[in-house]
Structure 1
Amino acid sequence: MSNTISAAQNWKRNQQKLAPWLFLAPGMLMFLIYVLVPIFQSIWISFHDWDGLGAKEWIGLQNYVELMDDDTFYVSLHNNVLWLVLYLLSIPAGLAVALFLNQTVTGIRLYKSLFFFPFVISQVVVGLMFTWFYAPNFGLFSQSIEWLTGTQVAVLADERYVTYAIIVAGLWPQTAYCMILYLTGLNNINTEQVEAARMDGAKGFKLLWYIILPQLAPATFIAMVVTVIGSLRSFDLVSIMTAGGPYGSSQVLSYFMYEQALSEYGFRMGYGAAIAVVLFLIMMVFISLFIVRMLSQERNA
C-alpha cells in the first residue's frame, strides 16, 4: 500500500518532466526501428558481398574501391549535382507563385487550386505526362520545337538534354510544394511590421528583402532541406521517363543503387548498400550545413 502511495506521489512530483517523454516515446521508438537501425544495417551490409538471400561474405572496403573505379558512379554523381543545383530553382519559383497567390482578388481560389494541383498527383503521373509532352511526332514540346526550328528534338533520347528534361519535370511539383510552404509562412507575417515599413517609404524589392523574407526564414529552411533531399533521392521520374537511359546518361545515385541491388545485375546488395551509404553521407553534409547556418543566424539575431 505504501509503495503504491509513494509511486503516486513520485508521479505527481515529476509529472511535468515525464509527460513529454511519454508522448515522445512512440515516435522515438518508430524512428529508432525504421530509420536508425536500417541506416546502420545498410552500412554493415556495404562491407559484404551478398545477394540478399544467401550467406554474407565479408569483403571490407572492396565495394567502395570498386565504386571509385565505376564510370557509372561518376555519371550518376554528376547528374545528382545537376539535380541539386537546378532543383533549388523551385524555391524562388515557389516564393514568386506564393506572393502572386497571396492576394485578395476575384478568382484567386481557382488559381490556388491550379497551382496546387501538381503537388497532389503522383510522381509516376508527372513522369508519364512529361514523357508524352516530350514525345516526338505528337508531343507538344516536340511540335513547338519543330514549328520554331523546322526539326524535331527527341530530348529523352539525347544524352545532352535528357537530364535537364527530367529535372524540368521534377521542378513542376516541387515548385508547388515550396509554394505551399511560403503561403503558410505569408499567413503568419507580422502585418504591423509591413505597415510600419510602408509608412517609412519601403516598397517593392526592399520591402520583400528586409521585412518579408526574414520572417519567412523558417519556411525557407524547410523548403531548402526538402528540396535538397528530393534532388538527391530522385528516382521516380528517372525510372518512369528513361530508366537511366539513353546509355546510362540520365543515371542518378538512387536509380544506380536500385539497378545494382534489385534488378537484373545479380542482386548485389552489398554494392547497392555502398551506393546508398555514399548518397546518405552527401545528404548529411548538405543538411548539416543548413542546420549550422540556421543556428548561427538565430544566435546572431
Structure 2
Amino acid sequence: MAATTPPPARSWYKRNEIALTPWLFLLPAMLFFAVYVIIPIGQSVAISFYQWDGLGEKTFVGTANYERLLGIGDQKMDRKFEISFWNNLKWLVLYLLAVPAGLFIALFLNQTVRGIRIYKSLFFFPFVISQVVVGLVFSWFYLPREGLLNAMLAIFGAGPVNILSDPSTATYGIIAAGLWPQTAYCMILYLTGLNAVDPEQIEAARLDGAKGRKMLWYIILPQLKPATFIAFVVTIIGALRSFDLISVMTNGGPFGSTRVLSFYMFEEALSEFGFRMGYGSAIAVILFLIMLGFIAYFLYAMWREEREAR
C-alpha cells in the first residue's frame, strides 16, 4: 500500500481563527477607546495629586486637593463644590423624568392614527438640534419682558417672572430646557424597542383578557428592559455632565447658584480665573466616580436579571 502523507500542519492563527477574528474587528475600537478615554482618565487621576497651572512645573501635594474639596481634616468643605454637588443631585433626580416621559410619548406615537408622521417629526425635532441652540431658545423663552413664558402667564393674569435671574429658580429653568431634547432621545430609544416587541405575546395576552395597564406592565415593559437600561444610563450621564446649557443660559450665575461639577471643573482648570489643573482634575475624578457608581449598579442589576432568567 502507498504511504499516506500526513496533512500539512496548520499555523497557530488557523487553529485559533474562530476565537481571534472577533478580537481583530474589535481592536481598532479598543485602541481608540484606550487612547481617548482610558489614558485621559489615568492622566486626570495623576494630575489631581499635583498643584499645577498647566504650563509650569508640577508640585506634588498628595491628597490635598481632595481634602480641600471634601473638607477632610481641619479644612472646611469648598462651598462652590458643595453647591455644585447639590445642583448635580437636582439634575439627576429631575432629569430622570425624561425616561417615563419618553416612554409615554413613544407609546402614543406607536399608534396608527392619522398624521402620526407629523407628530413623530415634531417630537423628534429637539433631538437633532444642538444643546447651544436649545439653550438660546429657552433663554429667549424665559425673557422677563419679551419672552413667551411671561406672555402666556399674562393671559392668566400672573405677573412677570425672571426665571434665570432668580437663584431659587434658575437651576430648575435650565433643567426644564435640558429635559426637552433628552425626552426626545428617550422616545427614540423606546420607539426602537417597541418595534422589537413580540406581537405573538401581545396577541396571547389579549386572548387572556389583558389590556391597558396590565398589558403595559406585564407584557410590554419587560420586553423594553434593554431600551430602559440604555435610557437610564444615557440620562444619568447627561445629567452629571451638564455643561453646555449652563454655559449658554447663565454661565454659572446668578451668584454661582447654577454651577454643577462639570462647570466648576472648567472654571477651576481652564477659565481665565482658574488654571488650577490639579484642583480641576480632582473635581473631574469625583464626578467620574459618581458616574461609575451609577453605571456599575445598572450593569449589575441587568446581569443579575439575565442570570435569574436563565
Query: TM-score, normalised to structure 2's length?
Result: 0.93
* Superposition pairs of residues 73-222 of structure 1, within 5 angstroms: 73-222=81-230
Offset, 1:15: 1.1
1:278 aligned residue: 286
Q: Give the counterpart of 1:253 among 241, 249, 261.
A: 261
How far apart are 1:10 and its partner, in Å?
Answer: 2.8
Q: Using the TM superposition, give the Cα deviation of residue 225 of structure 1 relative to its aligned residue in structure 2, in angstroms.
A: 0.3
Q: Do 1:260 and 1:272's aligned partners in 2 also have CA atoms closer than 8 Å?
A: yes
Counterpart CA distance in 1 for 2:10 and 2:140 is: 67
Equivalent residue number for residue 232 of structure 1: 240
Note if contact 2:127-2:182 (Cα within 8 Å) is conserved in structure 1: yes
CA–CA separation in structure 1 for the residues paired with 2:156 and 2:140? 19
One-letter amino acid of the structure 1 residue matched with residue 99 of structure 2: I
- Mapped contact 1:136–1:143 kept (Cα < 8 A): no
User: Using a 3 Å threshold, how does the CA distance of structure 1 residues 203 and 150 change in structure 2: closer, same or farther?
Assistant: closer
47, 53, 78: which one pairs with 1:70?
A: 78
TM-score normalised to the size of structure 1? Answer: 0.96
Per-residue Cα deviation, 1:241-291 (whole angstroms, up to 9, x for no partner): 000100000110000000111112231111100000010010011111111
What amino acid is aligned across from residue 224 of structure 2 in structure 1?
L
**What CA distance in whole angstroms lies between the structure 2 residues aligned with 1:197 and 1:267?**
61
- Shift in alpha-carbon separation, 1:7–1:101, aligned structure 2, 3 A: farther
More helix by share: 1
Q: Larger deviation: 10-19 or 184-193?
A: 10-19
DSSP-derived class of the 2:11 partner: helix
Give the SS at the match of 1:129: helix
- Range with greater deviation from structure 2 (180-189 or 141-150): 141-150
Cα distance per residue 1:217-248 (max 9 Å; x no partner): 00000000000000000001000000010000
Letter in 2 for 1:171: L
Kindly provide the amino acid, as one letter, of the partner of residue 182 in structure 1.
Answer: Y
8 Å contact from structure 2 (residues 197, 220) kept in 1: yes
SS at 2:156 equivalent: helix
Larger of the two Rg values belongs to structure: 2
**CA apart distance, 1:93:** 0.3
Contact kept in structure 1, 2:163 and 2:169, CA below 8 Å: yes
RMSD value over aligned CA atoms?
1.3
Show structure 1 runs of 5+ residues with no match.
Answer: none
Q: For residues 291 and 241 of structure 1, what CA distance do their matches in structure 2 show?
A: 34
In 2, the alpha carbon distance for the partners of 1:142 and 1:257 equals 34
Q: Is the Cα–Cα contact under 8 Å of residues 244 and 251 in structure 1 kept in the other structure?
A: yes
C-alpha separation in 2, matches of 1:286 and 1:130: 29
| SS in structure 2 of the partner of residue 203 of structure 1 | coil
Match among 22, 25, 28 for residue 23 of structure 1: 25
CA distance in 2, matches of 1:72, 1:144: 35
Distance 1:158 1:66 in 2: 29
- Deviating beyond 4 angstroms after TM superposition, the runs of 4 or more aligned structure 1 residues are 5-8
Pairs aligned (count):
297
CA drift of 1:7 comes to 8.6
* Contact persistence 2:267–2:274 (CA under 8 A): no
Report the equivalent of 1:34: 36
Q: Residue 55 of structure 2 is aligned with which of 53, 59, 74?
A: 53
**CA offsets per residue over residues 79-131 of structure 1, 9 Å max, x none?**
00000000000000000010000122221111111110000000000000000
User: Which stretch shifts more, 279-288 or 259-268?
Assistant: 259-268
One-letter amino acid matched to 2:252: G
Q: Which moved more, 1:25-34 or 1:5-14?
A: 5-14
Which segment is superposed worse, 97-106 or 217-226? 97-106
In structure 2, distance between residues paired with 1:52 and 1:22: 38
